[in-house]
Amino acid sequence: MDRQEQVETLLNVILIDDEEPALLEMEYLLKDYPEIRILGKFTDPVAALEQISQRKPHVVFLDINMPGLGGLTAARKLLKNEAITDVVFVTAYEQYAVEAFQVEAADYLLKPISKDRLNQTIERLVRGKKAETQETQGKLVISCMGGLQIGRKGKPAMKWRTEKEKELFAFLLQNRGTEMTRDQIIDNLWREYEMDRAIRQLHNSIYYLKRSLKEYGIGSHEISISNRYCLQLGSVAFDIVQIEEKAKKLDGMPSIGELEVLLEIFKGSYLQFEGWAWAECDRETLSRQEMAISKSLSKLYIAAGLFRNAESTLLRAYNLNPFEEDITLMLIALYKANEEKAKAVKHYLEYQELLRQELKIGPNECIERVYLSL
């Protein structure tokens, strides 16, 4: 199995058993499988369920016979809320097998677990993960975060004949589902041209764009462009739509896992490296959204005691937009709380110099106050 295939079939796992030795034994057995990454192990099923809702593992290995919240009850709660998670029961009691499969467990392992039996379980789980991956293998993927790309997984991205063809597609994509007039398009893409020449350029670009889509094998059920310059998306994976849909599903108290998944879609700025003025408003909106997600996720990490995760998230946000004051304030406060004075001072001085060179100003009073309190 090559590296790419290993990544695609990697299974994130959480272990739950009220007996510490049993947890350590299962951890030891699973270390032989490169496809398995253990996110955590728990003797308390209630604490485990909270982490599962945040981390969204692919598989939970769960003991059935536990005091308090039993394994079957825990599994019912888990499978009700986490559709993407499989449950593998691990127990010394054979009589629970029927009930285990009634709650749609992926497998049922009897202690002591033999190597051959565990091999069968892991192979089944990996096959399931591969099948999920293959379902989306041929799907058309459109990305705007980090730069415009369109293509299918495992196949080179579609190439553009001209920069204007690329820009036209991006403009129609940003206004997808909306009929654009000829004059609207020309005003944004060919403003400097005489009208007759601009119209010819538009017609040529539309022709070559449709031809490029067809030559790449993109059907009208995936992308269609009407004669009224209206682009419609069908069965495609589009990162901007994914951001919109996942953001809508967030309730008042999103989990770590939900915010991690959402932030992962932001691969860079919107239509990065493109100096198209018409894209600036959406670029700024998405940048603000990314900053807000980073701050919310960092606060949850800090509340959960995941300080290194909070630091890396804040540093990533700082590198994207070093002028966002709240990010620097949170970073210095985090370093102060963790008694990492050297890191706090280093970051403050770097930030202070950046403001001096770029904006000819100093840090605001709140940041100064936190820094001086060190």
Nearest-angstrom CA–CA distance, 374 and 75: 47
User: CA-to-CA distance for 271 and 203, rounded, in angstroms?
Assistant: 24
pLDDT on residue 2: 43
Which pLDDT tens digit goes with each residue over 162-172? 999 999 999 99
Quick one: pLDDT band at residue 9, thresholds 50, 70, 90? low
Residues 150 and 277 both lie in one domain: yes
19 and 91 belong to one structural domain: yes
- Lowest model confidence (mean pLDDT) among 41-55, 112-126, 146-160, 255-269: 41-55
In a domain, 102, yes or no: yes
- Residue 16 makes CB contacts below 8 A (sequence gap 6+) with 41, 42, 43, 45, 48, 60, 61, 62, 63, 66, 71, 74
Q: Among residues 135, 166, 194, which one ends one of the domains?
A: 135
Domain harbouring 173, CATH code: 1.10.10.10
Q: What is the per-residue pLDDT for 102?
A: 58
Looking at the DSSP bridge assignments, the partners of residue 233 are: 223
Tell me what the mean pLDDT of segment 191-216 comes to.
Answer: 95
Q: Is residue 69 situated within a structural domain? A: yes
d(C-alpha 286, C-alpha 299), whole Å: 20
Q: How confident is the model at residue 182 (pLDDT cuts 50, 70, 90)?
A: very high
Q: Between residues 66 and 339, which one has the greater pLDDT?
A: 339
Question: Could you tell me what percent of the chain has a pLDDT over 90?
Answer: 65
3 state DSSP class of 247: helix
Domain assignment present for residue 216? The answer is yes
Cβ atoms within 10 Å of 341's Cβ, excluding its own: 11
The answer to the question of residue 328 being in a domain is no
Mean pLDDT score, 325-343? 95
| Same-domain check for residues 75 and 187 | no
In a domain, 85, yes or no: yes
Give 289-311 as a DSSP string: HHHHHHHHHHHHHHHTT-HHHHH
Closest alpha carbon to 259 in 306, 325, 329 = 306
pLDDT per residue over 122-166, tens digit each?
A: 998 988 877 665 555 578 999 999 999 999 977 889 999 999 999
59: three-class secondary structure by DSSP = strand
How much is the pLDDT for 229? 95
User: How far apart are the C-alpha atoms of 292 and 279, rounded to whole Å?
Assistant: 20
Same domain, 85 and 113: yes
Which residue, 297, 322, 357, sits at the end of a domain?
Answer: 297
- Whether residue 242 lies inside any domain: the answer is yes
Q: What is the DSSP string of 88-111?
A: EEEES-GGGHHHHHHTT-SEEEES
Shared domain for 161 and 185, answered yes or no, is yes
Kindly report the CATH number assigned to the domain that includes residue 7. 3.40.50.2300
DSSP secondary structure string, 296-353?
Answer: HHHHHHHHTT-HHHHHHHHHHHHHH-TT-HHHHHHHHHHHHHTT-HHHHHHHHHHHHH
Answer yes or no: do 45 and 122 share one domain.
yes
For the chain, the average pLDDT equals 88
Residue 185 confidence (pLDDT): 98
Pair 145, 286: CB distance under 8 Å:
yes
Residue 86: which H helix or E strand, with range?
A: strand 86-91
Structure tokens at 47: 């604490």
DSSP 8-state symbol, 169? H
Residue 269 is encoded by which pair of tokens?
């700025």
Cα–Cα distance for residue pair 289/299, rounded to 1 Å: 16
- The 10 Å Cβ neighbour count of residue 1 is 11
Q: Which two tokens stand for residue 214?
A: 């067809």
* pLDDT (tens digit per residue) in 98-126: 565 556 678 888 888 999 999 999 998 98
- Mean pLDDT calculated for residue range 272-278: 94
Question: Are 155 and 287 part of one and the same domain?
Answer: yes
- Per-residue pLDDT band for 73 (boundaries 50, 70, 90) equals confident
Bond into 112 cis (ω within 30): yes
Q: Are 254 and 296 in contact (CB under 8 A)?
A: yes
Structure tokens at 310: 């909070």
Task: Look at residues 184, 164, 175, 165 and name the one whose alpha carbon lies nearest to residue 279.
Answer: 175
Alpha-carbon distance of 18 to 344, in angstroms, equals 41
Count of domains forming the chain: 2
State which residues form the domain around 236: 137-297
Polymer length of the chain = 374
Residue 338 lies in a domain: no
105 and 145 in a single domain? The answer is: no
Q: Looking at the structure, do residues 109 and 167 belong to the same domain, yes or no?
A: no
Q: Are 261 and 254 in contact (CB under 8 A)?
A: no
Kind of pairing, strands 59-63 and 36-42?
A: unpaired
Same domain assignment for residues 176 and 70:
no
Mean pLDDT value across residues 314-334: 95
Mean pLDDT confidence for 169-188: 97
Q: Which of 126-140, 168-182, 287-301 has the lowest mean pLDDT?
A: 126-140
Asked if 104 and 145 sit in the same domain, the reply is no
Average pLDDT over residues 170-192: 97
pLDDT of residue 254: 85
Give the Cα separation of 309 and 334 in Å (integer).
11
Would 357 be classed as within a structural domain? no
**What is the structure's pLDDT at 54?**
75
Query: Is residue 222 located within the same domain as residue 95?
Result: no
Residue where one domain finishes, among candidates 241, 269, 297: 297
pLDDT at 164: 96
Please state, in angstroms and rounded to a whole number, the distance separating the CA atoms of residues 92 and 109: 8
| pLDDT of res. 194 | 96
Residue 267 above 80 pLDDT? yes
